[in-house]
Amino acid sequence: MTIEKSFGPIHFLPAVNSGRYPNSNSVYVEGACILIDAGADLNRYRQLRAGPGIRELWLSHWHEDHLTYIDDLDGIPFRQSTLEQEPLAKLESFLDWYGIAQPAYRDYWRANLRDNFSFKPRQAHAYLHAGEIINLGTCHVEVIGTPGHTPGHLAFFFREPGVLFMGDYDLTRFGPWYGDRDSDIDQLIASTQALREIDARVWLTSHEDGCFESPPGKLFDRYLAVIDEREGKLLDYLRGGPRTLDQIAAQHIVYRKPREPLAFFDWGERALMGKHLDRLMQTGTVVQAGRSFELAD
C-alpha cells in the first residue's frame, strides 16, 4: 500500500482503493494550501480542511474519478483548464465529451455520475493556462499542457523540489486511455514523451502506486508499448477479413475478457478500438466499406 509522502512543500496523497478507479491520487501544496484533484481520500481531505486548510482546488482534467469527493469541497474555489469548461457545466455535455451515444449507456452514465461522483453543474472561479508559471510562495509551479488523454489535460512541475505530477499519464500496466470523443493517440504519445524529458527528481501520477523516486524510464516504455500491442492485435484480427466494430469489440483486445457493466466496459472497448481504426484509416492502412473495416490492398 502506498503511503503519503512529502517532497519539500509537495505532499503526495495516495487514494483509497490502491489508487484504482473510481479513485485517483492527489497532490497538496503546503503553504499555498492547494489541492490538485479530488478523488483520493475523503477523510484526508476533511483533515486538511480542518487545518492547515484548502484554499483552492485545481483539476488536472475533467474526468469523474478526479471529482469523486468534490461535494465535500463545496465552497472551495476551483481552477481548471480553459479548454475543459464545457463538460463540467452540464451533464449532457459530460456524456457528449466522452462520446457516449447509445441511449442505454447514456442512462447508465447519468445515474452513475449523479450517484457515485456527485455530478452537478459547476463553474471554475479561475482558469489554468498551459505554459504559465505560478509563484506559490513555497515553490514555483509550471503548468504543462499535455493533450491526448483529454484536450486540456494538465501536468504540474514543481520546480524547486523537482516534483512532476503527471496526472493520468499514470504509467500503469493497463496503459493509456484515449477513448474520449476528443482524445488523440498521437498527441498522447507526444505528451508522454514530453513529460519523460522533464528534468524531475520525483514523478507522481494519478493511479495505483503513483509515486516514483527514481527515473521510471522503463515504465514509460512499457506504458507506450501498450498502444502498439493493442494496434498489433487489431491488425492481426483484420487480416482474417473485413470486420465490423461489433466484431472487433467482441475480441476484448483492451479488457481481455467480457466484463460488466457493458455501459462501462463495452463502451470503453469500442471507444479505444475506434480511435485505433481512425488512426489506421488516416495512414491508409485500413479502409472502411459500409459498417466493416479491412486492411487496404
Per-residue pLDDT tens digits for 124-135: 999 999 999 999
> What local confidence, expressed as pLDDT, does residue 222 receive?
98
For residues 35 and 47, give the distance between their C-alpha atoms in angstroms, rounded to a whole number.
13
Q: Is the confidence at residue 218, as pLDDT, over 70?
A: yes
> What is the arithmetic mean of pLDDT over 95-107?
98
Sign of the torsion angle spanned by Cα atoms 77, 83, 89, 95: negative
Question: What size, in residues, is the chain?
Answer: 297
Percent of the chain past pLDDT 90, that is, above it, reads 98
C-beta of residue 38 within 8 angstroms of C-beta of residue 68: yes
The residue among 74 and 264 whose pLDDT is bigger is 264
Q: Is the confidence at residue 225, as pLDDT, over 80?
A: yes
> What local confidence, expressed as pLDDT, does residue 297 receive?
87
Amino acid identity of residue 57, one-letter, is: L
For residues 280 and 295, give the distance between their C-alpha atoms in angstroms, rounded to a whole number.
9
Tell me which architecture the domain covering 228-295 has in CATH. Orthogonal Bundle (1.10)
Answer left, alpha or beta for residue 51, where phi above 0 means left and psi between -120 and 50 means alpha.
Answer: left
> What local confidence, expressed as pLDDT, does residue 261 receive?
97
Q: What's the predicted TM-score (pTM) here? A: 0.97
Q: Is the confidence at residue 1, as pLDDT, over 90?
A: no
**Average of per-residue pLDDT values in the chain:** 97
Instruction: Select from 3.30.565.10, 3.40.50.300, 3.60.15.10, 1.10.1030.10 the CATH code of 5-215.
Output: 3.60.15.10
Q: Is the confidence at residue 161, as pLDDT, over 90?
A: yes
Task: Give the CA angle between residues 185, 67, 29 to the nearest 5°.
Answer: 95
Task: At 86, list the grid cell.
Answer: 464545457
Domain range annotation of the chain: 5-215, 228-295
Task: Say how far residue 295 (Cα) sits from the centre of its chain.
Answer: 31
**What's the number of CA atoms in the CB half-sphere (13 Å) around residue 138?**
15
